A and B are shown apart, each in its own frame.
Chain A
């Protein structure tokens, strides 16, 4: 074997090893002895496979040597996988984030599941990760759809594993329903290529992409946008996110939100930039607009929540919106012949996807750790956790800073690149008349200001102040495995925030393939140089200021002369977000009811009750009528089903006649 072939063989071997590992792990957990040490060994096996996968992803991203695997002969359809640079990036993302999540799952599964369920959990988890890997590495439409469907089913199974109630079933049903409607759209999108392509391998689709008629291209985009939008939760298709995430097991929520949503981003990039051979200008505007609406509404809904997991789910909606904004800008640039700027915007989108995977899974796992320690996820019941579980606290603080897009944490880099590419859109007046892209800076600015408010709220109310309930007061110790997982993800957030060059350079070689003619945007160089300097001087100044000698004395918080403050006097998450919610009241439209008894004496009440419920306006004014229409149509269709054999025979006969007619006249 010569030296030049060495990396290729290693990559290929590693890829196979990772896939085999993820496939064998469930078999091991299903068959082995059910002891704690055996579980740990099994988890270690999964983590090992994932780390190999991450290394393979990084190697492909760096070298560009593709790994592939063709199983078409073993499968009834064309099942081939190929890791090119774009796939490698998402493959890397999946593996790197899934590894700490798996580690976190060890104590989680131990605490939450009986033996039988734990076995199921350890069977389903690696398969779920594997299904996502299949989606992003698929080289044929069938392999993609196969992975896509498995991903939905396995995550739904994991949701139902957590427990069983009518409510849970209902939410899981909505999840499955929406995912399948989305999957149908994705399938339709692939099949639209069949007019020109002889088969559904990506290679054939790619060469057919350019020769598709304008009409078909429109439909390809619309179905892709709808299908992938459903998965990634763009408004108004986001309905499943705040329903499915809170009921899923915490590690699975972390994977669904941090990783699974990104497969949809992958799909959209693959279709529009790669397979279609470049987007049209108007699609850029559509994606941009959808992204902006999604981002603003997502973060506003998040601000209105105080259930930690629902809040994080809505914040995922927001971040997906930001990714779409960057993608939309990229499409506009690509369509107007500015490949270097398009490259910058795509890099911003992909980097934000990676960053979001890190900080969102960090925060979901943090929520899991909080739940482990306090048995509640309602922020209003927490408080004072920083002193009780400091490792979780510091990790979550890093996560909150990162998600709020503050500098020297990774979230900032993505948002900065987004700002720069939108600013460069000032050169684009020729096509729009209005400087749409620079105006988007205002939207992104509003969103990041709101998300800073949202995450001050999250961290400040749950980790700072005095504990609001006994559970928070007696918060338990967090297991070591959970702490390690959190610290790993948090250090990822810091590392990518200070040395973004680590991923920016490989990302540049990635986009050079999907956007032909792209040069090197100077912004990448700039940010990779500025951030280390900024972080260095910040740390130096912080240490210098901390070194100042201080005389300290412990006192009580000032209580306006009262003997003591009770935790009920503290600000809560709802009161914190109240000013913002009242400014944006038109978004929330909450139903409030104040009942005063007795009603005839409103000024001297004996009892008052206050109730405020929020349903998003989409549920009321969009989904409810839609569902009602579908059900009404189904009721009408029921008339066909008489249960009478003769009638069914008539149906068969009529169908036959129709088909014959069709055959006769279609010639």
Chain B
């Protein structure tokens, strides 16, 4: 039962990922007084790309085809670490924050190699910028998660969630507030959203992630797009599980599960709205302002860790 539910959670994250993307796009369009494309369009796109032929640059090696798949697989595995509507996860007690972060790093490593493989300067540009953003966002993410792990006395994501659920909602500590701010900034960078990167840009010179996957087509692009959408879903679920887990099902009764699911849907809907609002109201940062933005996250995360010592429970 529990195992089946954990698989359902992973499947839910995987299958609703394009939908979340569609919803965010739709909300953005509405905020900008446009009609926007239907929320189901990302599904149609992935389906179309999966069946299209794949163009292979003549100079590319096997890495070019392997990279997108590695990105997809590592993201899918990361999905198994996060509790969604009930407070366990497939990797459960072993689902450690450090493995989680490094799975993303593995995916990013291979996407960067995919970008460099065809020998186009756009790919190099994207990979080089991604390297900068990734290098500077890993430390704040790890530190923010560390702060939570110290409080909960465990580094497993599911167990941190279980611990947090037991706490009082109004008793949210300063550590949580600081860590949430840090994780939110890193999440923006990690999922390639504004103001760090613009997922809908059409100008190569400003791209980060889109420049990396410029040469990808057909199934490769489908895997990349899907994993990127899944990443957004995972990061949203992670933020909810770590910082706002209240409402998550702690018992396996149908009623509790249904309530947990309802909470999940409403919370993620709220986050989609927030994301759409932020993306509509801020401009993309200059490339060399991004490090400053991430340094704010580092400072917040460092403070979060220091506060764990100060407000030892």
A residues apposed to B, CB below 8 Å: 383-384, 386-387, 390, 393, 397, 401, 404-408, 412, 415-416, 419-420, 423, 426, 429, 433-435, 438-439, 441-446, 448-450, 452-453, 456-457, 459-461, 463-466, 526, 529-530, 533-534, 537-538, 541-542, 545-546, 548, 550-559, 565, 567, 569-571, 575-580, 582-583
Complex partner residue of B142 from A441, A545, A546, CB under 8 angstroms: A441
B77, A541: Cβ atoms closer than 8 Å: yes
Complex partner residue of A442 from B91, B94, B102, B139, CB under 8 angstroms: B139
Distance to closest chain B CB from A559 (angstroms): 8
Complex partner residue of A557 from B112, B120, B219, B291, CB under 8 angstroms: B120
In the complex, which residues of chain A have a beta carbon less than 8 angstroms from the beta carbon of B96? 416, 526, 530
Report Cα–Cα, A577/B112, bound state, in Å: 13
Tell me if B's interface is mostly helix, strand, loop or mixed: helix
In the complex, which residues of chain B have a beta carbon less than 8 angstroms from the beta carbon of A386? 61-63
B residues apposed to A, CB below 8 Å: 50, 52-63, 66, 69-70, 72-74, 76-77, 91, 93-94, 96, 98-99, 101-103, 105-106, 108-109, 112-113, 115-125, 127-129, 131-132, 134-143, 146-147, 149-150, 155, 214-215, 218-219, 223, 287-288, 291, 298, 301-302, 305-306, 308-309, 312
Distance to closest chain A CB from B180 (angstroms): 17
Distance to closest chain B CB from A554 (angstroms): 5
In the complex, which residues of chain B have a beta carbon less than 8 angstroms from the beta carbon of A570? 119-121, 124
In the complex, which residues of chain A have a beta carbon less than 8 angstroms from the beta carbon of B112? 456, 460
Q: Closest residue to A583 on the B side, CB-wise?
A: B291
Complex partner residue of A420 from B98, B115, B150, CB under 8 angstroms: B98
Distance to closest chain A CB from B204 (angstroms): 9
Report Cα–Cα, A534/B117, bound state, in Å: 27
- A435-B69 in contact given A406-B102, A459-B113 (Cβ < 8 Å): no
* Residue of A404, A444, A529, A555 with most chain B CB atoms under a 10 A cut-off: A555
A446, B61: Cβ atoms closer than 8 Å: no
In the complex, which residues of chain A have a beta carbon less than 8 angstroms from the beta carbon of B52? 551
Distance to closest chain B CB from A459 (angstroms): 7
Tell me if A's interface is mostly helix, strand, loop or mixed: helix
- A435-B305 in contact given A465-B59, A565-B120 (Cβ < 8 Å): yes
B132, A453: Cβ atoms closer than 8 Å: yes
Complex partner residue of B139 from A404, A446, A546, CB under 8 angstroms: A446
In the complex, which residues of chain A have a beta carbon less than 8 angstroms from the beta carbon of B124? 465, 570-571, 575-576
Report Cα–Cα, A405/B301, bound state, in Å: 22
Report Cα–Cα, A550/B63, bound state, in Å: 16
Report Cα–Cα, A554/B134, bound state, in Å: 32
A407, B62: Cβ atoms closer than 8 Å: no
Complex partner residue of A555 from B56, B103, B109, B135, CB under 8 angstroms: B56
Question: What are the 8 tightest A-B residue pairs by CB atom distance, in nearest-first order?
Answer: A571-B124, A460-B116, A465-B119, A453-B131, A449-B138, A449-B135, A426-B150, A445-B142
Report Cα–Cα, A505/B214, bound state, in Å: 47
* Residue of B66, B112, B309 with most chain A CB atoms under a 10 A cut-off: B309
* Residue of B91, B124, B306 with most chain A CB atoms under a 10 A cut-off: B124
A538, B77: Cβ atoms closer than 8 Å: yes
Report Cα–Cα, A19/B91, bound state, in Å: 48
B312, A429: Cβ atoms closer than 8 Å: yes
Distance to closest chain A CB from B119 (angstroms): 4
Report Cα–Cα, A460/B127, bound state, in Å: 10
Report Cα–Cα, A416/B135, bound state, in Å: 17
B142, A442: Cβ atoms closer than 8 Å: yes
11 A-B residue pairs with CB within 8 Å: A401-B109, A423-B146, A434-B306, A435-B150, A441-B305, A445-B138, A453-B134, A538-B74, A554-B55, A557-B119, A579-B132
Report Cα–Cα, A545/B121, bound state, in Å: 28
Q: Closest residue to A384 on the B side, CB-wise?
A: B59
Q: Closest residue to B112 on the A side, CB-wise?
A: A456
A580, B102: Cβ atoms closer than 8 Å: no
In the complex, which residues of chain B have a beta carbon less than 8 angstroms from the beta carbon of A553? 53-56
Report Cα–Cα, A577/B128, bound state, in Å: 7
Q: Closest residue to B144 on the A side, CB-wise?
A: A442
Distance to closest chain B CB from A424 (angstroms): 9
Complex partner residue of A556 from B57, B98, B108, B137, CB under 8 angstroms: B57
In the complex, which residues of chain B have a beta carbon less than 8 angstroms from the beta carbon of A583? 132, 136, 288, 291
A449, B99: Cβ atoms closer than 8 Å: no
Task: Using A426-B150, A453-B132 as known contacts, list a sample of 16 further A-B pairs with CB atoms less than 8 Å apart, ordered by residue number in A.
Answer: A419-B142, A438-B150, A446-B135, A449-B135, A452-B105, A452-B134, A453-B134, A463-B61, A464-B61, A464-B116, A465-B118, A545-B72, A550-B54, A557-B215, A570-B124, A579-B128
A442, B219: Cβ atoms closer than 8 Å: no
In the complex, which residues of chain B have a beta carbon less than 8 angstroms from the beta carbon of A407? 99, 102-103, 106
* Residue of B63, B125, B312 with most chain A CB atoms under a 10 A cut-off: B63
